[in-house]
A and B are shown apart, each in its own frame.
Chain A
Amino acid sequence: MKPTVIGIRIREQRKRIGLTQAAMARELGISPAYLNLIESNKRSVGGGLLKRVASILDVNLQTLSGAAEQRLSDDLRALSADPLFDNVDPGENFAEEIIAKHPEWARMMLILYQAYLDRSRALSVMSDRLNRDTQLQTSVHRMLTHLTSIRSVSEILNDAEEIEINQRQRFHQLLQTESVELTNVAQELVSYFSTQKSTNPTAAVAEKVDEFIISRQNYFPELERASEELLKEIHNTGNNELDGALQEFLTEKLKIDIRNETISKDKGARYKNQSRMDKDNNTLFFLENAPVITRRFQMMRVASEVVCKQALEKIVSDPRLSSFAARHQAKRALASYIASAALMPYDFFMETAETHRYDIDVLQQKFNAGYEQVCHRLVTLRKPGAEGVPFAFMRADPSGYVSKRFPLTRFPLPRYGHVCPLWPIFSTFQFPGKIARNIAEFPNGDRFLMISRSVRKPPITFHDPPVSLAIMLVCDIIHGDRLVYSEGLDFKSQKNLLRVGPSCNQCAYAECQHRQESPWTLMDNGH
């Protein structure tokens, strides 16, 4: 896949504590030559060996693996694969070298590149809007029509000296009417642009929020605590049954009205997740067919937004969430985090997950939660000292659009461009509801267990197309034996390995029939 920064860190730390390569190799039970390869990033290190290295060097795994630097390195490599740099050869280890010598420059480059992508997207959106926005097209058409009349009539008034007085008056009247109409259209347009608000935050905003959550390892201890407090308050209503207590808490304590709305074809867009919060009237609406799981989660999310407002505000005041849209979207995502933590409390969820070997079906039933909700919660199990299996998470739609991503240090999810089409997440659309498990091998030999399944949000009515999404959890193969999904899979066999890459431009499988772009490593060699 790519060289890592682990080797560099091992060497630095070893030298810092005054340990020779030979001595350390002896303690590890490996040859000095092999340790040298590891320190030169020519061999990957993981699992038990990495734990022993961390123990000898007296550092924690997180520090050693340099997760933050690794992400930086992945992003730099993705940047260098942009066709913009087709004729530039950055060198094999350019990312690690820049990060080692000038980490702030690396960050600045990425900020600049992100800004470039944001502007490019904004331009595309504007261009798309100009070309496809029906309201804009209608307004422009009306403007041109009025302008046509004004131009034609004014030319007549200017050219036709012999024109009769009545006719002249009529054309003056036309000119005035058309000018007023033109003004009206112009004002409508100004008002249209000034009131236009996108309810779908742009991809750039989503990326900022993603990056922020990734930088926190998708674990927020302050929100875990907030969820415990929230749950206590809800149970204080005296109602022992959670759904009833939640409803009572919202209506009695928070004065939020809960209403059902009848199903109709035109409500699909307004009812994302079959619910809608009307903040002006403090009312939470559900479509009448919204299932219990959805109702419970959305009620908890709304309660989190109100009760845990301070905790949420504090977290989203992070300077990385620089725009209002980013803070707004982050707050929404983190309120969902609290809801998820309240419905699946950390310690109990963790214990249940371990007992049932991370069987998502079992967890769904134990916690009355949806498939995606359980997967989300599994990714947050990063409490120091009580960590679950580290999972990467990805959600995509049938077009390949990745709407949620959480990478792992050794399993980068490319931030820019497409991912490898061979990832099993995409083929799950052909088998709705069925879990697929695969052992995937990357070109550098790294192996991962991939657990994929598509989920289908039910359509509002027969006439609405259902929303299909695929979700994939990925963990390093070293954790595979803790998962029910590894049962019956032969980890040692080469036969059933799924050979995949990160994305075409970062993949070294030269003979792949699915390749759409040249790999950046080969570009300068004329391949």
Chain B
Amino acid sequence: MATQPSNATLNKTVLIVEDELHIIESLRFILQRAGYLVHEVHDGNDAVNSVRAHIPDVIVLDLMLPNKNGFEILKELKSDLALSNTPVLMLTAKGQQQDRANAEQLKVDAFITKPFSNQEVLSCIDHLSKR
């Protein structure tokens, strides 16, 4: 696990769209520890506006969110020319084939199912942030 911030991650931002506060807490810890700036959104309705207000380097998106689910948010993001290039990592407890297929159809950049390993998530975000 990357324990120290590297130049590659400094000043890069990750937006976590997730409603489970304890998951956010551990994600924030591992990402900040790796040198990322972390923002959070807890409600599906606020996600796209938050991205528009400040385009992050990577979006970590949960599927089951209050008011608007991850698929709807992903669709909006990928159909907005200004936002469509922002990489999205979908992080979800729904790991069924159909969910993965839906996400891929909506052009998700990466898909990881919960419970995840921190290293797996971090490696993926590192990879996406370099694109």
Contacts and interface: CB of A to CB of B under 8 A. Distances in A.
Contacts of B114: 144-145, 147-148
Contacts of A159: 1, 3, 118
A30 B96 CA distance: 71
Interface centre among B26, B27, B33, B94 (most CB of A within 10 A): B26
Interface residues of A, number: 22
A84 interface: no
Contacts of A171: 26, 29
A174 B93 contact: no
A210 interface: no
Interface SS of chain A: helix
Contact of A156 (B93, B116, B118): B118
Interface centre among A140, A141, A145 (most CB of B within 10 A): A145
B131 interface: no
B3 A152 contact: no
Given A141-B93, A141-B94, A144-B93, A151 B116 contact: yes
A149 interface: yes
Given A144-B93, A162-B3, A177 B22 contact: yes
A152 B33 contact: no
A92 interface: no
Interface centre among B1, B3, B23, B33 (most CB of A within 10 A): B23
Interface string B28-57: 011001000000000000000000000000
Interface in A130-169: 140-141, 144-145, 147-153, 155-156, 159-160, 162, 167
Interface of B: 1, 3, 20, 22-23, 25-27, 29-30, 33, 64, 93-94, 114-119
A144 B27 CA distance: 16
A156 B121 CA distance: 13
A69 interface: no
Interface centre among B30, B64, B93, B116 (most CB of A within 10 A): B93
B22 A149 contact: yes
Contacts of A248: none
Given A141-B94, A144-B93, A160-B33, A153 B26 contact: yes
Nearest to B30: A156
A155 B93 contact: no
A178 interface: yes
A152 B115 contact: yes
Nearest to A149: B22
19 contacts: A141-B64, A141-B94, A144-B114, A147-B114, A147-B115, A148-B20, A148-B93, A149-B20, A149-B22, A151-B115, A152-B30, A153-B26, A155-B118, A155-B119, A159-B1, A160-B29, A171-B26, A171-B29, A178-B22
Nearest to A159: B1
Contact of B26 (A144, A147, A174): A174
A155 B117 contact: yes
Contacts of B33: 160
Contacts of A156: 26, 29-30, 118
Contacts of A174: 22, 25-26
A59 B104 CA distance: 74
A159 B114 CA distance: 19
Nearest to B33: A160
A288 B117 CA distance: 59
Given A149-B23, A151-B116, A153-B22, 6 more contacts: A140-B93, A144-B93, A145-B93, A152-B27, A156-B30, A160-B29
A148 B116 CA distance: 6
Interface centre among B20, B22, B119 (most CB of A within 10 A): B22
A424 B23 CA distance: 60
Nearest to B93: A144
A418 to B, nearest CB: 29
A216 to B, nearest CB: 48
A10 B35 CA distance: 94
Contacts of A153: 22, 26
A151 B117 contact: yes
A160 B26 CA distance: 12
Interface in A453-501: none
Contacts of B20: 145, 148-149
Closest 5 CB pairs of A and B: A144-B93, A152-B26, A148-B114, A148-B115, A149-B22
Contacts of A160: 3, 29, 33
